[in-house]
Amino acid sequence: MWFDLCHAYFEMYSIPRHQWLPVASLYFFGHAALWWQAYKRCHAVMNWEVLCAAIVEEFGQDEYDIQISKLHHLRQTSTVLEYWIAFETIMYQLISPDPSLNTKFFVSQFVIGLKDELRTAMRLQAPSSVTHAVSLARIQEEEFELHRPRQRVIPSGKSPVTSLTNSSSIAASASGTKCNADDYGRECQSRDYRRANGLCFRCGDKYNKDHQCKKPMQLLTIHLGEFGEVFTEDIVQALELLNEPESDTGTVQCCHLSLQAVSGGEANDTIHLRAQVGNQVMITLIDSGSSHSFINTEFARLANYSITATTTTQVKMANGSLVCCDKQVCALPWSTQGYTFHTDMRVLELGGYAAVLGMDWLQSYSPMTIDWIDKSLKIPHNGSEAHLQGIRSSSMTLSSMTVEELRNAHAGNDIWALAVVELDATQPEASPSAVVPPDLAELLTEFKDVFATPSSLPPHRVYDHAVSLEAQHAPIN
């Protein structure tokens, strides 16, 4: 079931396959988390298939035997319905790892676990499926309840009727209070009437196979507001929480961070911006899935802005864990595409972005126009409208750069990602004319007779120079 939930989560949030393993590892807790830490240290090469096989080997080896043992020892102790719910839970857990188990096996195990008074009748019926066996067992249970002898109900304050065997007891009965001996007769008359009219013996309502007697009435407390409105239990509980005094720790749980902000990925409801903070490039994610704006701890120190303490806030991460945040950068100035903004950002360790602009930033500039497909937005800014164009994935190209440009990009925090590219040795090398600058190519064309490739000895000049060789000596080379 855990694997099915993982695949559903990956498909719902469009998680790339190479991120399945790190995303799934975020949901290991307790013993599973300790096992995962030890397993990573002992196994270097990891992928999703290897992880699935390791989980089955570690946690799923004995599960089948445990469920088989539970099925063999399961017995009916209450109603057929409750017994069927317990039986069905075990049956589905066995069918999932072993679909070869047939229906006859489960029918026989279901009949064996019934009470003795129901088991014999069920064997005579020979049900063909477990559902059929459940229906027959419930009908047999109802018939058994109808014909079960019932104890006589003695009215409160009265003694049971006893046989009078001698004259002294008759005299005592006559002299005392008169015994109401016809109570039992009235009870029998009421039961016969209800049987003839198809009524329930206990409550007198119309009887059918799904009938359940009404529970006795209970006294309920109704909470009313100032104007007579009725408050439900949930509203009363919420009001009690509001009236409770704040804890001494001062911790407020009010923030959450999306998966894309943590993992550095993309989504349909996010926009990438290239912003500038001083002389540093701030890779920013506009994310409607995050509640507040955050700045990466390392980038805040790199930009050399003042980090101040604030109220401790619990931030709920994408995997459900809580992280405390107690620092922020107030009114951080940043600019992009000719517009300057000042934003309060909480300081937190982020995965792939220098900053995240959450719902608090989006709400502060509402109303706005956002085009999630074009990755652009229009927001009000200083009395006019600012048009911000995000980075489109399709517009990103690969181009060469010099070592100096790479050094400057690193110093300005303008490197988004690094990749090692291995050139294909089978590809033909580019011709010299393809890499010659245009100005130099023009000179080569103009003086092509000077730069032509020699095909013979130089022509005779006014002064011919020669290298004299001594006799009986070989050339050096």
- The pLDDT tens digits for 92-125 are 777 776 777 778 888 888 888 888 878 877 777 7
Q: Where are the domains of the chain?
A: 2-59, 63-147, 252-395
Say yes or no to pLDDT of 154 above 70: no
Q: What percent of the chain has pLDDT over 70?
A: 73
Give the domain 252-395 fold. Answer: Cathepsin D, subunit A; domain 1 (2.40.70)
For residue range 324-340, list pLDDT tens digits in order.
Answer: 888 888 888 888 888 88
Mean pLDDT confidence for 157-173: 45
Query: Three-state SS for 129?
Result: coil
For residue 199, the 8-state DSSP code is B
For residue 277, the 8-state DSSP code is E
| Residue-by-residue DSSP string for 48-103 | HHHHHHHHHHHHSSSHHHHHHHHHHH----S-HHHHHHHHHHHHHHHHTT-TT--H
Residue 270 burial (CB count, 10 A): 22
Q: What percent of the chain has pLDDT over 90?
A: 0
Q: Is 420 exposed, middle or buried (0-12, 13-18, 19+ CB in 10 A)?
A: exposed
Question: What order of strands is seen across the sheet that includes strand 369-371?
Answer: 369-371, 376-381, 384-389
C-alpha angle with apex 388: 332 to 383, nearest 5 degrees? Answer: 75
**H helix runs in 181-246, sequence order:** 183-196, 233-243
Q: What is the mean pLDDT of the chain?
A: 75
Poorest-confidence range of 48-52, 84-88, 178-182? 178-182
**How far is the C-alpha of 477 from the C-alpha of 461, rounded, in Å?**
27
Angle at which helices 116-125 and 130-147 cross, to 10°: 130
Q: Provide the pLDDT confidence category of residue 167 given band limits of 50, 70 and 90.
A: very low
Whole-model pTM over 0.85: no
The residues, ordered by sequence, that sit 6+ positions from 140 with a Cβ below 8 Å of its Cβ are 118, 121, 122
CA atoms within a 13 Å half-sphere pointing along the CA-CB vector of 328: 14
Say yes or no to pLDDT of 162 above 70: no
- Looking at per-residue pLDDT, the higher value among 131 and 406 belongs to 131
**How far is the C-alpha of 12 from the C-alpha of 155, rounded, in Å?**
65
Q: Provide the pLDDT confidence category of residue 163 given band limits of 50, 70 and 90.
A: very low
Alpha carbon distances (Å) from 188 to 59, 153, 156, 157, 163: 61, 11, 18, 20, 19
Say yes or no to pLDDT of 85 above 80: yes
Say yes or no to pLDDT of 223 above 70: no
Start-to-end CA distance of the chain, whole Å, equals 80
**How far is the C-alpha of 276 from the C-alpha of 72, rounded, in Å?**
69
Say yes or no to pLDDT of 250 above 50: no
Residue 83 β-bridge partners:
none
pLDDT of residue 256: 77
Structure tokens at 56: 């089955």
